[in-house]
Structures are given as structure tokens and as C-alpha cells.
Structure 1
Amino acid sequence: MLSRRRLLTALAATGAVGTAAACSPSSSNGGGDDGEDAKTLTFRLWDETAKPAYEESFQAFTEKTGWKVAITVVPWDEYWKTLSLDVGSSEAADVYWMNSANFVQFQESGNLMNINDVVTEGRDKWVKSVVDLYTRDGGLWGVPQLWDSIALYYNKNLTDAAGIDPASLRFDPAAPTDALRDAGRALTLDQGGKHPGDEGFDPNTRTQFAFNAQADRQAIIGPFLASNGAQWQDADEKYSFASAEGIAAFQYAADLVNVQQIAPSAADTNENGDFTRDLFTQGKLALFQSGPYNVKNIAEGVGDTFAWGIAPLVAGPAGGKSVIHGVVAVGNARAGDEKKEGIQELLRWLGTADGQRPLGTQGVAFPAHADAQGAFVEHWSGKGVDVQQFITATNDTTPADRGAKSNAGLEAAMPIFQEIFIGRLSAADGLPAAQEAGNEAMA
């Protein structure tokens, strides 16, 4: 599964800005009619892995309604730039994927259909946190498709050998040590078999790492700050993470890299957000905090080389708080009248359990319809993987990014976050600067 299905922001884990598409907007997305059958709709998403699931769904939709659906995948690094150009030139797809960091700018421009006017039945079956995320100005601006939360993948061979219970891990920045740091030392080895703190330990020759502390907003930064009692944004949607609690949590996470030396260097993870996931599948990382968007990657990458499982995310003084996010399918409000009936039909179909079930049966993601979520659980259970911890994580959550320019805000803050993780800035200096830069970008 492509890591670019990571749902929280329009940035890669590295914070890099996506590049523009090489082709012109009209040639890159197939959004216009261009002689197509009048009964053909266009659908755009950014994840190649999800395409077969939608092909299965749309086959049933066509049999039911007569409307055909042509799917286009635009890679994540091109998606948002291309979408903005296409919307501006009236070449956007009829229905397309949207995330929370970007939907407000399209909603405020009048480009999205109000789902309240389209879907009248079955909405109570949609995951409430996703509905809330896309509700604004009295309307709902997308049909929830899938959701994710955060939990802890662990290499059972490594944790068993070290006597570590992954479900018992906790962190506390105010304490001299804690379960995560203790486990981290036991799970980190250099080429001589020494642990951090041992005489002669050489971090430059580490062959095994403990934990994926890195500048990842959804899997690391958000949960660590919230689990230490920090708030990401205030009621006015301005960043407020540079509190005493936020600074303490951020410095703690960065110290796992630079002081405790139990996490890989930020010189690697800042440049490649998937570096730690790949270490995990190679058997070189014991604990990998991430979302269900990586289940397929891990299952395919690990194969039969070692036993692994999924435990609760690492909890802090305020508990273990997961970022919950979801993707919606939005309707193009500026499509021609000849398409609007079909778009509304497709949106209604995408809001049903039957419309979403292939996302679960093919192991792509948790569908957002309650009656289809079991399909994802059953798919992975059949392969020996228990994904229940992701469901449990929804019981204690922290909000995803909100606001019309939240993508711009995170784009401004992320390079400063990376400087903290690489050790060139302290959290006390860097986090207020990141908060100021992010709020200026969102103003």
C-alpha cells in the first residue's frame, strides 16, 4: 500500500511540498467529457491500492444505475496542485477524494456539493468523527469513505527476546525514565551487541532500533502532544501546541532520537518518512507506531520472516490519544447539469455499506460505514492479523487539523519540527517558532 494514502495532511511525512503534474490539467486527470459516453462519470483518488476496490464497487453501481465510472489515480505528490488547477479550469473529476487539510478551501469556493442535499438516508451509519471533521457552515461536504487511527506495530521476536510487553509501554517527560525509554534501551543494539548506556556503545553502528520517533504529524507528533495534555489548535483553529505540555512532549520525542539514541537519526527520517516502516519490515525496528494504512505494507513486507502484532499506541500522562482522520468523496458542484444526477447517484452509492465494502474485503482500509467495517477486520483476521487495536483507539482521540489553510500552516511548521528532531533546535525555541510560522501561514 502506498504510504501516500496517509490521510492527515497534504504533506508527505517529510513535510515536502508536492510537485506539480508534468501534464496539463486537462490531460492529467480526464475530468472533462471529451466525447465520453454521456452516462460516464469520472472519479479521482490518490492511492493506486484503493483503485481495485473502487472498480469492484463501481461495477455493482453500473449494474444498478446504468452509470459508468472512469477512475483516475493522480499520485499524492501531484494530487493537490493538479486538483487546484483542474478546479480552476473546470476540468475537475465529477467525484474525487478529499482530506481534511484541504476541503475547506474548496468548500468556501463553492466547488463542493452539500451532502445534506444529496444523501438523506443511512447517514447515521457513518463514522461520527469523520462526519464531524467535514461538517462546516451548516453543511456536510463529503461522503465518508474510510478512516484511520494510530496503534503500535511490534516485532514479536524482538520484544519477546527482550522481555518487553508492547501493551504496557508508557511515556512521561517529567519522569527520569519510563517504560518506553527502558524498553527502548533493551531493544536497541549496535553491531557489537551493546545497548545505549553500555560502555562502548556506538550509535553509528546500530543494527537494531527500538522506536520510530520522527517528524510524523499523525503517528508521532499528534499523539505524543495530546497524550501529554497539549492542545494542537484552539477554538479559533489557531495553533496552540507550543504550551509547556507541548514543548515537553516534543522534546521528549526528539530526545528519543538524539539523547536516548533508541530511534533512527532524523537525517534519515526527515528525508524519507517511510524509512522506519522499511526498517520494521526488515526486522531492524522493534516498535513502529502508525495507522491501518500500513497494515498491507507490513504484511507484504514481513511475509513469514518474523512474527508481529498490533498493540495500543504508547500512552502518556493524559492517556493514549490517537489522531483520527478520514477521507471523503466529494461531489463537483460545478459539473454540467447533464452530470449532476449521476454525481448524486454515485455519492449516494458511495455512502452505502455495499458501496464501501470492497475497501474492507480487499484489505485496503476501514470503511466509514459501520455495516462494512467488519469486512476489513475479517480480511486481516483471515491472514492472522488482529486489527482490533485501531478500533479501540477511537475511544480516546485528538482532533486532526482543521481550518481553511491548515495545509499551509503545517507546511510552514513542518521544517521547524524537523529541525527539532534532528537536534539543531530545542523544542523550547523551535515549537513557539513553528506555532508562529504556522499561524501566519493560516492567517
Structure 2
Amino acid sequence: MFVATIGFIMVIAIVALLLKGKMSPIVVLITVPTIAALIMGYSVGEVGGFIKEGVGTTTSNAILFLFSVVFFGVMSDVGVFDIIVNFLVKKAGANVVSITVATAIIAIIAHLDGSTATTVLISIPSMWPIYKRMKIRPHVLLCIVASAMGVMNLLPWGGPTARTATVLGMDATILWHMLIPIQVLGCIVTILLAVVLGILEKRRGAGLVGDAGDCAVAEAAAAQVQQGQELKRPGLLWFNILLTVGLIASLMLNITTSYVLFMLFLSAALIINFPSLKEQDNRIKAHAPTALIISATMLASGAMVGIMNGTNMLDAMANAIISVLPDALGRYIHIIFGVLGMPLGMVVGTDAYFYGIMPLIIEVGTKYGIAGLNTAMAMIIGKNVVLMISPLVPATYLAIGLVDMDLKDHIRFCFKWLFAVTMIMLLGGLLMGIIKL
């Protein structure tokens, strides 16, 4: 009972510190578990051994994230996504449903790089002038972008999938391969959501203005902020598109280790687009802060997982929960937390959710014969889709700021639609046998 008590105190402390935002996740995930292990009587040498074991399970995912963030950052710099966005904006014209569907497709494509801020800055400024001209509510724009972002964040370099893989001790790309059918379903549901919202907006009177399409497109083009034009490579556009498609295809075919692919493709991208040493260094430095922080956090989480496993803390905590949990509920704990993933994800930060709560629920599930992978896949769906309505995510404030909307109005409108997307994806995972009862 002593070990379980220390474990619960540790998890509560980690979640509380991460929610307060007073300390770096890297510091929290290393320091708190280390103190807990020392209190339990383990020596510094033993704790070091636990950390070494844990970090060893997260290294490949940390390297993957490091190189993937830089690669997609460079692709965004050179204008890979610009031509697609501009084409869809023009094709949308004055049709309300076409505009909402174009929004979904733009957001899905924009989030290929896994960056929430980039997705928001590509999707919303390009479509918001059109929405205003066509009298479509900004709530609709943000809801569609939020759904697309949540679904696409299942990519292995998106963050949550890499974090989940870290907790499971497996390669993020392998986990993603299992999640691809659910992600495809999510993309289809997001486009259908855009159709439904477009029809509802049309019934409210949206689009009933003269020559709206042409004016809207012109205004949208003028409204887009032209930043970093010197970095664009229009002459190399098709090379860069083929390079991006080739990388994604190679990842899906599992040709070799995912981080090796990103190393090779990033090198090719830098050599062709930025041949000089100074240019290459500048591009790497521009994207390094985000890549380094997340990768370091993953390594720190490995230290936490190593200590929790080495001290048998998770096992003790799981047994304590099982002693008070009815068997009827225990057998479905992964489904329960799959349903609760969205509301829970809104109030608990990403690191707290994946590194504090998920390992414990996985361990409890294993006591009832539920595979850890099964529990993790159920839990990741809801947390992903909630991404852009969580008050703990900076991109949420960026998005509502761009359209001048209150957070409460954004959440009130989006929650029911995004929860429906979550439930369809969870149900789809069950029906396809990816998540098992």
C-alpha cells in the first residue's frame, strides 16, 4: 500500500504541476518521479538504472519528432501547401457548402506538418474573409478546422501518437499504421461535418449576397499575410511536393525506420532548396526550438516511465484501483476512458493526460485482460479531437483571436459536433476490430 500511495501522490503532483504551468514538463517528468523513487528507498544508482531503461524506450520517437518537425517546417517555408490552398479557395466560389468543404480539405492538408499554429495560420486567414462576405458564422470555420486538426494529429509526428507510443514502448509509426483506418474515417467524417454545417448555414441565410464568391476570393487573397517570400521556391514546387508525397508513402510502406526516412528526406530537401551552409543552418535553427523541446520532453517522459516500471509503482496503483472498482466496469475501462477522453482532455494538459493518466489506466486495464495497446488507442481518439477547444492549448487562443470570438462561445458551439466526431471514430474503431471490447 505504501508504494501505491507514493505513486498516487506522484501522479497528482505531476498533473498539478503541469496544469499550473509553473515548471517545464521536462523538469517535472524527471524530478518528481526521481524524488518518489528516493522516498521509496531506492538508491541513486538504482534510480539511474531505471531512468536509463526508460529513456532507451523513447529515443527513437524523440529522434523521429526532432527531424519530422524540421522537415515539415522546411516544406511549409518553401511553399508546398500554398498552391493547394489557393486552388481550393478559388474553386469554392460562392457556394456555401463548397466553402465549408474547402475549409476542411485545407485544414487537413495544412496539418500534415503536425503544427497547430501553422494549421491555424494557413486555414483561418485564407477562409475568414470569405466567411464574412458570405455571412457564414466564424463558429463554423473554427469547428471545421478543429475537427480536421484533431483527426490529422494522429500522425506519428503530431505529438499525441508519439507520446502514446512512448508510454507503450513502441515505435510511433507502427502505432500510426494501426490507427490509419480510424484516421481515414475521421477525415471522411470531418468533410461530412463540413457538408452538414454548410447546409445548416445556408438554411440560416448564408450566401445570399450578390457576386459574393468573386469578391470573397479577392478579399481572401489580399488578406493572406505574405511572410517569408524569400524562402519560397516556386521553381522547385513539384520536386518538393513529390518529396513530401514520397516520404509519406515510404512511412506507410514501412520501408525502414521512420526517423531514418526523415533524416534522408530532410537532407535532400535542404540540399536542393537551400544549397549553402548559411541557408541550411538558418532553416534548421528556425524550427529547432519546437523540435528540441518536444523531443526533450519525450526523453524526460521515458525517465518517468522507467522509474514507474522499475519500482513496480504502476502495478501497485493498479491493484489499489481494482480493489475498489466493480468488475462490471473494469472490463470496459478502456471504452469508458475513450468516451471520457474528450471532456477529460479539455481540462488536463497533453503531457498530464498522456504521461500521468494514460499509464495508470493502461495498467488497470491489463489487470482485467485488456491489452495496453487497446486502452491507449481508445484514449488517444478523444484527446486528439479536443485539441483546438481546450483552454490549455495556445492554438485555441490564436484561432479565436483571428476571428474575434469568445472562448465560451467557441467551446459551446464546437463541443457537441466534435464529441460526435469522437464517438463515430471510437465506434468505427470497435467495428473495424482495431479497438476490442
Task: Tell me the TM-score normalised to structure 2 length.
Answer: 0.29
The structure with the greater share of residues assigned to strand is 1
The structure with the greater share of residues assigned to helix is 2
